[in-house]
Amino acid sequence: MRRLIVILLLMCMPWLVAAQINTDRVMMIGRNALYFEDYVLSIQYFNQVINAKPYLHEPYFYRGLAKLNLDDFNGAEQDCSEAIGKNPFVVNYYQVRGLARIRQGNYQGAVDDYVQALVYAPENVGVWHNLILCKIKQEKYAEAEADIKQLLSFSPRYIPAFLMHTEVLLKQKDTLQAEQSVEQALELDKYDDGVWATRAMLRLQQERYEEAESDLDQAIHLAPKGVGYYINRALARFHQNDLRGAMGDYDRALDIEPANVIGHYNRGLLRAQVGDDNRAIEDFDCVIMAEPDNMMAIFNRGILRDQTGNYRGAIEDYSAVIEEYPNFLYGYQQRAVARRKVGDRKGAEADEYVLLKADIDRRNRLLSGGQTGGEESEEEEQTNGKKKTRKRSERDVRNYGKIVVADNEEGTQKYKNEYRGRVQDRNVNVELEPMFVITYYKKESEVKRTIIFNETVEKLNQLGSLPHRILLTNQETALNQEQVQEHFTSVDELSSAIASTPQDPYIRFARALDFYLVQDLDNALEDLTKAILYDDCFMPAYFNRALIRCKQLEYERAIAASAEPVDEKGDGRMGLNPGKTIDYELVKYDLNKVIELAPDFDCAYYNRGNLFCLQNDYHAAMVDYNKAISLNPLFAEAYYNRGLTQIFLGNLQEGLSDLSKAGELGIYSVYNIIKRYTESKE
């Protein structure tokens, strides 16, 4: 009997070991990682919780959310289904599973999810929004209109509802009602770039190109990084024969999104029209690299290669197209000419024979009263003037010379996703540039800003006591799988080093960076505190500790402001530990200490200015931003935040001046804000 008990205990050991992890703590770290957009890392933490307690529903949901943001839609759907199976009363689970199903083309499945979600939250705007878009996709326009009416009954100023209504009306060819709907949206909010863009698309369809261009000017003012707006304005300008303006718009679109296929294709056509053949070839090369089976791009490149003397390259392109479209006679004609240029008389005669045979067949059909088979000359096809554009999805190779426009589906309203990136964090139009941190990585910016230099940080790099070169940034980036594993391994190695030399502040600081990068903020704080204990003049430790404490404040406030999803205790706070609340005074103490140790450190004043703004102490923030700018006159982020602070204090003109300077130094998003505040002043 005793032996049987021992055997049973041994069998249970793996479960006991798994359950020994602190699942509440691991869940908290996982949500930290998810909140700060470290999706790969967050999945690893949620896996640990699921392995230890597979009966919990929340870790499945959060793991599914991380997978959704990594475009693993099938995995996201499966995880949300697991969460729903364990707790079918949480609206968020249906919403995220609906999004995953949409991205897989399962619109009816998404509709089922949203209908169920509305049982528990009948006035959830996001659910109604996505439900309507699914019905538009299913071409259930009457149902979509009824749902829009229901949505507007309790949210009468919800702009996307009017835009969806416009879309429904356009699909039913009711342009008059569609225009009235978009005008209503414009009356409610003239600062919504989507409204201007929607009216522009309507006017493009009505061939009112000058008015469409004007509307897109407004959309671009409000959203200067909207690639689609430049593409559409180029189309409006093309129809007005403003080729230079159209080319400029494609240039801007491709500066923002270098891999945009429509931009490269259309710019290639325009470059070919003005004789810029070599650069046109470069554009078509980009299209073909992204879409190797794009025969129209290949044929255009063939023509351009022919014109630039690369006859063998042209023959290769023509042959690829002919193989795909053996009845494309113009391809044979072009290839025959190119083959003669390289001395391939036999090949040229073979192509000319195909053309001759096709011409004889056509004449015989005409004599017998039959049809010509629809094969008209390409010269005629390109110059008949009936239509200068084609849909992106069209595959008729004879339309190779037409400007490409997005398919209808590409220009529709986007599915509402309040979960992308930061859980329960609502995006705002105007927010401060974030604080700076000492770390190993930074997000690559489209615009080169001034590099922040600090002597203490540079000396730390020169010591070589850290595994990587550290830098100052406020544009952090998520880690990839290899980096995550590297820092977990580094934690283990540094832990061994700390065991032998526990009072070395540099090793503590190095491990704190590892913990910070894997979102284990509590352990990072503990290491930084011990580094300070062993060296109370170690400025980088104070600096990062202030930043981490502030991040914890941000996270706690975001979670506390949210009421769902509800945790096991039903308190709606998703596991927030009240005992871990961080005090603003602790953050301020650390920043004061940094300034005491490094009085010329501009980022310390900047970070403290941000802290004062969080406390709504704008006058104190102004003092710190002024100091940061006096130390670094090219500090773009400080100008930006000081500009916003001036506006919060009612000093509009001074604020706009600072924002303008920030834009000059590389923060282009300010121009949207400047326009809004300028017009509100008028």
β partners of residue 404: 390
CA atoms lying within 13 Å on the CB side of residue 143: 14
Give the position of tokens 């430790």. Answer: 541
Range of the domain at 596: 437-681
Tell me if 38 is assigned to some domain: no
Tell me if 668 is assigned to some domain: yes
- Return the closest-CA partner of residue 144 out of 163, 121, 124: 163
CA 515 to CA 379: how far, in whole Å?
Answer: 66
pLDDT of residue 376: 47
pLDDT of residue 574: 34
Tell me if 670 is assigned to some domain: yes
Average pLDDT over residues 324-348: 93
pLDDT of residue 383: 41
Q: What is the pLDDT of residues 271-299, one digit of tens each?
A: 999 999 999 999 999 999 989 999 999 99
Question: What residues contact 534, with CB distance under 8 A and at least 6 apart?
Answer: 503, 504, 505, 508
Residue 473 DSSP SS3: strand
pLDDT of residue 445: 59
| pTM exceeds 0.75, yes or no | no
pLDDT of residue 280: 94
C-alpha to C-alpha distances, 528 to 55, 172, 242, nearest whole angstrom: 36, 63, 60
Q: Which helix (H) or strand (E) holds 437?
A: strand 437-439
Task: Please say if the pLDDT value at position 541 is more than 80.
Answer: yes
CA 255 to CA 272: how far, in whole Å?
Answer: 20
Angle at 603 between CA 601 and CA 609, to 5 degrees: 115
Tell me if 280 is assigned to some domain: no
CA 468 to CA 538: how far, in whole Å?
Answer: 19
| % of the chain with per-residue pLDDT over 90 | 52
CA atoms lying within 13 Å on the CB side of residue 31: 25
pLDDT category at 475 given cuts 50, 70, 90 is confident
Provide the token pair at 476: 């952090």
Task: Please say if the pLDDT value at position 12 is more than 70.
Answer: no
Residue 582 has a CB neighbour count (10 Å cut-off) of 18
Tell me if 473 is assigned to some domain: yes
**Number of domains into which the chain is organized:** 1
pLDDT of residue 423: 36
Question: What residues contact 637, with CB distance under 8 A and at least 6 apart?
Answer: 433, 474, 606, 662, 667
| Amino acid (1-letter code) at residue 646 | Q
CA 185 to CA 166: how far, in whole Å?
Answer: 10
Tell me if 255 is assigned to some domain: no
Angle at 619 between CA 589 and CA 664, to 5 degrees: 100
- Return the closest-CA partner of residue 4 out of 20, 12, 15, 19: 12
Contact 95, 127 (CB under 8 A): yes
Q: Which CATH number do you get for residue 657?
A: 1.25.40.10
Tell me if 517 is assigned to some domain: yes
397-406, 453-462, 569-578, 602-611, range with the lowest pLDDT = 569-578
Tell me if 115 is assigned to some domain: no
Provide the token pair at 230: 């430049």
Average pLDDT over residues 493-513: 91
